[in-house]
Structures are given as structure tokens and as C-alpha cells.
Structure 1
């Protein structure tokens, strides 16, 4: 047992190793690892930052690997520091920790570091969007605000494969049951067998965003998860007119330490000032438009009728074949990946980029 007198007011520096104090299973192949400073020093960091651990790997050159993990604990609880790690099929470092790391063992760590944090934000309303283990920085930021007694106004959205794979679900629900300011929304791809799921199901899209956070335009957004997920989030926000100056993201595969390391986002954003041209090959008609016009609107402007229903990319009624060119399509589940690969688009939510030909 560690007595309170064993802790000092000194701050931990990464020239001192970390000592594991607990390993808490979260779900299959996922655990939270908590560490203390052997000297009793306390931890100081911004919620959302990360640590880089040096992990034994005898089969690798040099006998170690370095792996970066977002800190899932809060700096408001400075006596320990926690990372939550999920092993993928090709994991080396995380797999070693799950199989071998026990309380009392020590690891070298570098950090904390990273820019992904709301510590200096002046915003009063937040939207946290995450998928899988990208939930870890959101947990740190939410816990810190909770501990500081702030008036929470957080819409917390997490996406997972199944309900059983939602990390921290019980802890978040416990917090949310004690304040009206933490609004939890979970999205799953599919339910667990023989366990009904009454929440959101499918892949995150614009319609879900509007239902879960109607006031999203007023919120500062923090997003973390796999790149396809973050791309979908950015496209949804841009398509709805969100000010992307209030958008922040961190890939759990590639956290950055400095502003210079932040990747340039090369998302396609249709422009009012950029001209486009759509040729409707079966009808022999060409429409000159701007990129912000949809293919459906362009067809109607030249007297062509493409059957349509929802106009939100849900029903799939306006599916047509694109034979040449590129479009920017942000749909809400009305078309399959196989159809997209085969060249089909939804006319209602596809914006032409340059010259495009469709079979209409």
C-alpha cells in the first residue's frame, strides 16, 4: 500500500521510469494500464496528450519498440497516469503489455506531449466525436472538466463495432446520470448477438449528427479515430456549413507534437467559384454549373428528370452511373461501397468536380 506521505510536490519527468500499479481489462484485447512515479512525483499534462512507451520486443532490432498511447486519465488526478490500449491483429507492443505487463514492473516513457487538447479552449459547448480507441482523449478531457466542477455542455458521440466494444461505457453512463450536461450518444455497426440494441446503428453520417447534436454549429468539435471515420466527420461538417476553424482532430495512429507536424487536410470541398460541367450522355445534354450544384439540381435545370426521394442520400432512389470524371459525394447510407466502386453515385448528394459524364 502506498501512503499519502510517499508522494511529493515534485513533477514527474521522463528521465524516471514508470511503475505499473494496475491492469484493468476493458474488453477483449483491451486494457487500461495505470502507472505511478517510483519517487512519488506527480504528473502534469493537458487532457488529450499522449505518452510514448518503450516496450520490450526481443524479436525486434534493438530489443524494444516505441509505441504512442493517448493518456486516458485526467491531470486532475495527478498521482497516477493511465493509458488504455487495444491490440490489433499485428500489434507487437500492445500485445506484449496485455500478455506480460503486471503491477510492479517498470517501463521507460517519453512525454507527455501533443497538441490535441481543449485545455486552453474558451468554448462553452463541445462536441466530442470518436470511434474505437479514439475515445481515450475524449475520456481524459471529459473527466478533467467533471473533476474541475465545470458546467458541462458536452455532446459525447462514440462509434463502435458492437455495443460490447464501447470502451468506458459504464463509467460514462455513471457520469452522465449525475449531470444533464453530458449527453451520451453511441453508434454501433451491428448489435451483439441475442442482445437488442435500441440506439443508433450504422455508420456515422450527417443525419445522425443533426439528430444527436442539433446545435452542432455552436460547438467546438474534437474528433479522434481511424482516418476514414475522421474523413466522414469532416465531410459531414463541411456539407452542413460548419466553421472548420472550430474543428480539431487527432488520429490515434499518428498523434503530433508540434504545429509543424500537423498534416494538411486535403479534403475536397466544392467551391461556389469553381466551374463544372456535367454531360448527360443518354440525353445528349450538357449543363454548365458550379461545384456546389448537385448532379440532381443540374439535371433539373436542363429539363431532365432523375427519380429522387429523400434528397439527403438515404433512400437511394437517385442512383445513377457515372462514366467519366469525379464527384464529391457525401451520402447517408443510401448507396453501398460495391456500387460506389462500380461507378454509381447518388445524384442528390454528388457535386461535380470539373467535367463529369453520367448515364442519364
Structure 2
């Protein structure tokens, strides 16, 4: 049983291990099909983990038990309980059972905590947390931990959601930001909610937004979590902006990493000025040697050709041309549609050639 004196020092209490069941003590709705589920130890043991780590829960769904992994959304600075925040997708089995059937007082088995996606416990750096959807949960835990520490807090948190109502734990984050001026929140949505006003960013995260949100991003440690296509787009943006990727850290929805050896290798293309490339301007009968760090627009100008251009930031779409063959590395800021890309078009101002590339110029 828990000590009678609730103010007893933690070193007089037992440390929770996964030999003991967890007891559900609260379920709080956060967004459509999203809830925070909180647990305590029936024996009164306390929890020790690092912000950003995960738990693996045993869920007794119809047809047999399943194990599901969830990021811990609570902070280790509050060790008497532990919480996860989960969303039931259309094909969810374990999470759907948990949101529909788990109730306070019920007990389940868990393994962990585990995971390497975490900030240092000292936590006095400059952080940029970038997430999409429920990928916000490790950012939430890390921000909460830094908030509770109360010293050296410098956090910029960016979360992308489909619409404002789907921003998870928004009020909880806003409460912390309202108390600590150096916690900056930025939400980006794709759609408005009916009969509601949204004054924040709309669309998809891009380089321009990133520069407006955190002008000192080059000085920050970046922690990113979300679907792999989202994280790949973030990596592409940072690489194109010259960010030191040794300071980039990521977690995935689908692959819980328990050790550095388990971490998947990232195969991102990084343009190098030591690697040569060739641009063939088919309509002009001109070929130009360049490097992977040169843009198609810059190489065309050196070759004496004029491709109409405007912003030179991948926004306006003025420099859209057709690629006939070869591959380019393009990081744009909304100036071209996915349909155009599928049909072979590129923006010359933000496309860098890989090997031999032929364009209709």
C-alpha cells in the first residue's frame, strides 16, 4: 500500500517496474478519437523515465491480447502517475478498445519505459519541437518537463494538424506558454473549423514558415515526430537550409526505437558541391556542367539562358519547367502542386540536379 504520509520522500517509496500491473485512474478526451489515459501503481510505487520515452501496453481486445506502444505524454517530474495520449484511427484495434472499454479502476500489464528519443535531463538547451498529429505527444512530455524544471527554458513548439479542433492537448500547452514567455507555440492547420475563427498558419509547414516561426533554428536542437512522409519533408527542409543534421532527432509512429542500434538509417539525399552534375537544356541545344548544390535556375543563367523567375524561394511558381529525364532534389514552399510534380514539372529556383538531367528549356 502507499505510505500514509503522502509527502514522504520518493527514496522511501518503491520504484515501479513492469512486473506490476498499472491501474487506470483517469481518461480525459483531448480531440476527436483522442484521449489521455492516466495510470498509477496499485502499490503506490513511483515512476522513473525520461521525457519522450514510451510504454508498451497489453490490451485484451476481442480475439486475443495485443501489445501496443504509446509515447508517455506525462512528465517524469511528476512521478506518482504516468499517462499516454492516443488516437484511435479508422483501423485501430488496441487503441479503439482502450478508448471504448478501459475505465478507471481497471488494471493492465505494461512493459517499459524505454526509448532513446529524449532530451537531456539537464534540459538547458534551445529546442525546436516539430510534430504532426499525435506526434505531438513526446513534444508535450518534453515541454512539460522543462516547464516543471523552471530554469533555462527555451522552446519553440510547432504542431501541424488537419484542423484546429484536432490539435491535441492545446489548452495544456497554452497554459504552460501563458506562464513562461520562452515557450513559444505555433500551430499549423490545413482546414478551418466551421463557425470558428483561426488566425494562425494555414497550409503545410515549409521553409518560409520555419524562418518566421524560429529565425534562430540553426542554433536549436530539433526533435521531430510524425508520419514518415512528414518527417522526410522536415529533413529535406533542414538539409536545404544548411542545418547541422547531427542536431536533428526523430521518432516514428510505426517503429519504436529502444536503442541506438535499433534506429533506422536515414537515406536522405544531401547535395554536395564536390559532386558534379550535368544539365541539358533540350529546346536550346545547350549543355552545362554544374554541381549538385547548384539550382537549375542558376545553372541556366550561367549558360546564358533565361528562365522566367520571381521569388526564387519556391513560392510563386513562375519558374516552373518540365523535366524530361533524370532526377532533381526539389524543396519548394508551395509553388507547385503534387499533380504537376507527378507530371514531371519542377521549380527551377529550388531544384538541384542529381547526375544528368534534361529539361524542356
TM-score, structure 1 as length reference:
0.96
1:130 match: 131
TM-score, structure 2 as length reference:
0.96
1:32 match: 36
**Contact 1:123 1:219 (8 Å CA) reproduced:** no
Q: Encode CA deviations 1:224-251: one digit per residue, 9 max, x unaligned.
A: 1111111111111111111111111101
Aligned equivalents of 2:301, 2:256: Cα separation in 1: 46
Tell me if 1:241 matches 2:242.
yes
**Contact 2:124 2:151 (8 Å CA) reproduced:** no
| RMSD after superposition | 1.4
Aligned equivalents of 1:254, 1:111: Cα separation in 2: 15
1:18 match: 22
Aligned equivalents of 1:349, 1:252: Cα separation in 2: 30
Equivalenced residue count is 356
Distance apart, 1:252 and its partner CA = 2.3
**Contact 1:325 1:356 (8 Å CA) reproduced:** yes
**Contact 2:124 2:153 (8 Å CA) reproduced:** no
Query: 5+ unaligned residues in a row in structure 2: which ranges?
Result: none
1:49 match: 53
1:108 match: 109
Counterparts of residues 1-360 of structure 1 (less than 5 Å): 5=5, 9-59=13-63, 63-120=64-121, 124-360=125-361
Aligned equivalents of 1:349, 1:311: Cα separation in 2: 7
Distance apart, 1:120 and its partner CA = 4.5
3-state SS in 1 of match to 2:47: coil
Question: Structure 1 stretch 207-216 or stretch 187-196: which is displaced more?
Answer: 187-196
Distance apart, 1:269 and its partner CA = 1.0
**Contact 1:151 1:181 (8 Å CA) reproduced:** no
Q: Encode CA deviations 1:182-227: one digit per residue, 9 max, x unaligned.
A: 0111111111122221111110111111000001111111111111
Aligned equivalents of 1:126, 1:195: Cα separation in 2: 31
Aligned equivalents of 1:196, 1:325: Cα separation in 2: 45
Distance apart, 1:254 and its partner CA = 1.4
Aligned equivalents of 2:125, 2:109: Cα separation in 1: 37
Distance apart, 1:124 and its partner CA = 2.1
**Contact 2:58 2:65 (8 Å CA) reproduced:** yes
Distance apart, 1:152 and its partner CA = 1.1
Aligned equivalents of 1:57, 1:237: Cα separation in 2: 41
**Contact 2:3 2:44 (8 Å CA) reproduced:** no
